Structure 1
Amino acid sequence: MPNKKTSPDLKVLPMLPHESIYIGVDIGKQKHIAGFVSKTLLERHKHFENCPAFSFEASREGFRSFVERIRDYCPLEHIFVLMELTGHYHRSLQQYLLELDIPVYVMHVQRRQASMIKTDKRDALSLANQLYTQLELGAQVTDKLQAVRRTVPPSATASQLKGLMRHRYELVNEATQRKNKLTAICDELFPELTQVLKDPNLATALALRERFPTPHALATASFTALSEVRVGRRASDADLLHLQHLATQSIGTKDVARQRSLVLEQSLLIKELRLIQEHLERLEGEVCQIVTQSREGQILTSIPPIGPLDAATLIAVIGSIANFEKACDLKSYLGWAPKREQTGTSYDRTRLSQGGSREAKRAMYLIVWRAIRTDTEWSKLYKRLVPRLCSYDERTQSYRGKGRAIGHVAGRLITLAYALLRYDYEVVNHLAPGTDPPAPMLYDLEVHHQHRSGHYHPLKRRPRENRIVQVES
């Protein structure tokens, strides 16, 4: 009988001295698959799909067996690992490998063709082949989503803020959902409330709705009881009397059964909203304290339109500024990179790319709007750009397409933040062990004015000086 075909094994083929091994890891919830590609392996197996693969558990013992398997035939200094950014399942393995000083590369999740065979082993070997072609052979990719980049561990501040800011993002969305439901209940139960209290979800409005949930309860309440519910200076005595008069003539639902269900739902939503707001207040206080004590936070908040919460969002998303070689890479990661489509002379269009972090993209949009509405250098830049980049509508007597100017201002802000953060990163990392770092370089308005007048050079790496060698005759 013919021998059963065995899967290729790394141990059967000795590696060349100083040969690098490229490993792609297909991440799973309970088990990972690692595929191995190198020059010798490709010469032996002819195609990357036939190269060896190894499965291991997503546990401490599994990680240890994976590393021991590599050590059997190759030093760890010659290993390069690539994995996709799949949720949070890759983080434990990534941290374990970084602790061993193994270079770890990451890339976006790739879309596979529908006609191809899809297996975990093939996905792992495909990642290993991607890493091999880009690092070993120096191949360039047209799609930046297929480019691999080396992972740099996040700073201590970013590690603290990442989970906190993600939780804050979720709490804000949940609070908005509760407010929308409470507004809908107010429109059905007592729509006249917004004639006196414009926002039915502020403190006084919620206190009145909780104490007097129906128009009948509000209309029959005493003025003393209404005054006790008032929070701060919101709702004067005349407003409370007017509100009580409106309650007697309310067009809200008169169905008793429907009123009962709405009152119960409203009571529960108010309690949930207050609990969320309490958690948000505590969370934001902790975040602001972390930002003010960190170097990255001091640098970002020195730029006028950036506040502590905005800085916390950017720090958590960036992780480490060393992950970005150029400012344009940071723009793309934050979702503010321009995308141009051009063919011949008939079509030429530039718009904002759809990628990037959603949280950072929204934070930068709010930062830009805050910057152009206040007296800052960015508002002056915006006013100069609008007539140049936007078309003028004679009918409305206003400019159209102001998004181009907003995107330009956002790009300038990101470039400035990148320059300051990168400079501070290089200063801190070039210090001798045990040396106290100097104070971080902050944004200076006077330096900005000098930059505009041409008397200041931006923070960029200096080009290498030309060395002239004189030969004696």
Structure 2
Amino acid sequence: MAGAKKVRPDLALIPMLPHETLYIGVDVGKFRHVAGFLSRTLLQRHERFEGCPVFAFEQSREGFLAFVDRIREYVPLEQATVLIEHTGHYHKNLEQYLLEWDITVYRIHVQERPKGMTKTDKRDALGLANRLYTQLELGAQVEEKMQLVRRTLSPTQAAQQLRGFMQHRYELSHQRTRLRNKLTAICDELFPEFTQIFHDPNLEVALTFREKFPTPHDIATASLSALRETRVKYFPSEANLLRLQQLAEKTIGINNKDRLRGMKLEQELLIKELHLVQGHLERLDTEITDIVRTSREGQILLSMPPIGPVQAATIIATIGHIDNFEKAGELKSYLGWAPTRHQTGVTFDRTKLSHRGVRPVKQMLYLMAVRAATLDCEWARIYRRLLPRLATYDDRIKDYRGKKKVIGRIAGQMVSMIFALLKTDQETLSRVPSGENPPPPMLYNPEVHRRHQEGSYRSLKPGTQPRKILRLPSKS
């Protein structure tokens, strides 16, 4: 019929080439996700990645199932690869669902959008699909490591159990610190001389006194026998109890009745909240210790001198699965222990730690390195050996300046050691036939570590041969 408009076929659902990989980027939302589909065939037919098909689905089991069904319309599930941005916690349910279907999932840190670019959920999803396509299909390299896509594997059993525990423990620890700070401020205003007897006004025995005798007047008018019943064993001593009453009689603390009434109630409630938080932390620590000591990763990490159950649990929960990282440098970067160097010509050259990384682990690694430098272990010997080389001795203060450089070096070596031990154990488990019991994990050995430092280094990677030493012929 003349003048009839030619209808284009629906290119989105045209079958692709056999064994062709479908690259999918998912823009994650709170209630709704948008997926963008990209492949060689789709890119040839639509010419630009912005024109490739997209699919919106809800954050629900029905929505996830519809997404998987849409993938099947293009390729079998084993030929699909999905890239998800780690945005808060909204991606976790979708990531878990896709891994249960054995769909290959990659992750990437949240990317900063270029200024002036139109932002829509469709464009973001297709942009992620294009990033996955260029890196995996075309082998394109990126200048910024934060733009790398990384394979996501299901966390180990211990990591699955510890993730929620460690996040909750981190929040409770901060809450406990805030409560203690508030109670200290109340003590400084209500009865500042209290710290002359109890150096820490938030110790259990100190809180017992503050709960039973909330004001200085209550302490000053209390009988000596009532004070004795409140103390723990013989602390405070009889003399300190008498002195406490004397300080309470002459205190410079607040004496306004209206203000005292408000502070008494606030102090009472804060002490109860602190006891509740401390009880929850003790329960969590018991569960965490049991999981760490019965898991292979936990046994390996606990064998290293500065690592305790809480530190080991934090590392396990953060890593998830050691096969998510191909090199020790990737693990260092993920944990935030990667140096950033700013250099221009010969006039400016400065190196510092990157601001990125997992903050709780970053802080914990620093404290671990500081602790290790004070122990009788190989890390302390490395610290003493590197201190004169990396730090500067100051005659005025009779000590070294720049100790943090050495601490940073020790923390980096600890991460490399953790990676080597966990990676070796995972490779050992992968070679164990199904149904057989695996051998015990290889633990940290201080003697082997010392021999490595003395020059007898041998890589933990399987199949690696010791370094050959070439000897030149002697002169005749």
TM interval, short-chain normalised:
over 0.9
Q: How does 1:72-87 map to 2 (within 5 A)?
A: 72-87=73-88
Instruction: Quote the Cα distance in structure 2 between the aligned partners of 1:8 and 1:23.
Output: 19
Query: Aligned residue for 2:471?
Result: none
What secondary structure sits across from 1:306 in the alignment? coil
Query: Aligned residue for 1:190?
Result: 191
Amino acid at match of 1:407: G
What secondary structure sits across from 2:342 in the alignment? strand
* Counterpart check, 1:246 vs 2:247: yes
* Counterpart check, 1:39 vs 2:37: no
Deviation at 1:14, TM superposition (A): 3.1
Instruction: Quote the Cα distance in structure 2 between the aligned partners of 1:48 and 1:455.
Output: 53
Deviations 1:203-252 (A, max 9, x none): 11111111111111100000110011112443111111111110000000
Query: Aligned residue for 1:287?
Result: 288
Instruction: Quote the Cα distance in structure 1 between the aligned partners of 2:112 and 2:290.
Output: 41
Query: Aligned residue for 1:340?
Result: 341
Query: Aligned residue for 1:206?
Result: 207
Specify whether residues 8 and 270 from structure 1 end up closer, same or farther in structure 2 by C-alpha distance, changes over 3 A only.
farther
Instruction: Quote the Cα distance in structure 2 between the aligned partners of 1:10 and 1:280.
Output: 53
CA RMSD of aligned residues (A): 1.8
Deviation at 1:463, TM superposition (A): 4.9
Instruction: Quote the Cα distance in structure 2 between the aligned partners of 1:184 and 1:119.
Output: 49
Instruction: Quote the Cα distance in structure 1 between the aligned partners of 2:25 and 2:229.
Output: 66
Instruction: Quote the Cα distance in structure 2 between the aligned partners of 1:158 and 1:36.
Output: 32
Q: How does 1:78-227 map to 2 (within 5 A)?
A: 78-227=79-228
Deviation at 1:375, TM superposition (A): 1.2
Deviation at 1:333, TM superposition (A): 1.2
Query: Aligned residue for 1:370?
Result: 371
Deviation at 1:5, TM superposition (A): 10
| 223-232 vs 286-295, which moves further | 223-232
Query: Aligned residue for 1:443?
Result: 444
Deviations 1:108-131 (A, max 9, x none): 011112311111011000000000
| 108-117 vs 387-396, which moves further | 387-396
What secondary structure sits across from 1:54 in the alignment? strand
Specify whether residues 5 and 310 from structure 1 end up closer, same or farther in structure 2 by C-alpha distance, changes over 3 A only.
farther
Query: How many residue pairs get matched?
Result: 464
Which structure 2 residue ranges, 5 or more long, are not aligned? 467-476
Task: Report if the CA contact (8 A) 1:162-1:316 is conserved.
Answer: yes
Deviation at 1:298, TM superposition (A): 0.4
Task: Report if the CA contact (8 A) 1:8-1:50 is conserved.
Answer: no
Amino acid at match of 1:179: R
| 260-269 vs 111-120, which moves further | 111-120
Instruction: Quote the Cα distance in structure 2 between the aligned partners of 1:186 and 1:450.
Output: 54
What secondary structure sits across from 1:82 in the alignment? strand
Amino acid at match of 1:367: M
Query: Aligned residue for 1:426?
Result: 427
Task: Report if the CA contact (8 A) 1:207-1:229 is conserved.
Answer: yes
Deviation at 1:392, TM superposition (A): 2.2
Instruction: Quote the Cα distance in structure 1 between the aligned partners of 2:337 and 2:210.
Output: 43
Amino acid at match of 2:247: L
Amino acid at match of 1:38: S
Amino acid at match of 1:157: A
Query: Aligned residue for 1:276?
Result: 277
Relative to the length of structure 1, the TM-score reads 0.95
Deviation at 1:456, TM superposition (A): 4.1
Task: Report if the CA contact (8 A) 2:341-2:351 is conserved.
Answer: yes
Instruction: Quote the Cα distance in structure 1 between the aligned partners of 2:6 and 2:286.
Output: 65
Deviations 1:305-339 (A, max 9, x none): 11111101111111111111011111111111111
Task: Report if the CA contact (8 A) 2:27-2:121 is conserved.
Answer: yes
Quote the sequence identity (%). 58
Specify whether residues 3 and 23 from structure 1 end up closer, same or farther in structure 2 by C-alpha distance, changes over 3 A only.
farther
Instruction: Quote the Cα distance in structure 1 between the aligned partners of 2:70 and 2:278.
Output: 51
Specify whether residues 3 and 58 from structure 1 end up closer, same or farther in structure 2 by C-alpha distance, changes over 3 A only.
farther
What secondary structure sits across from 1:192 in the alignment? helix
| 52-61 vs 147-156, which moves further | 52-61
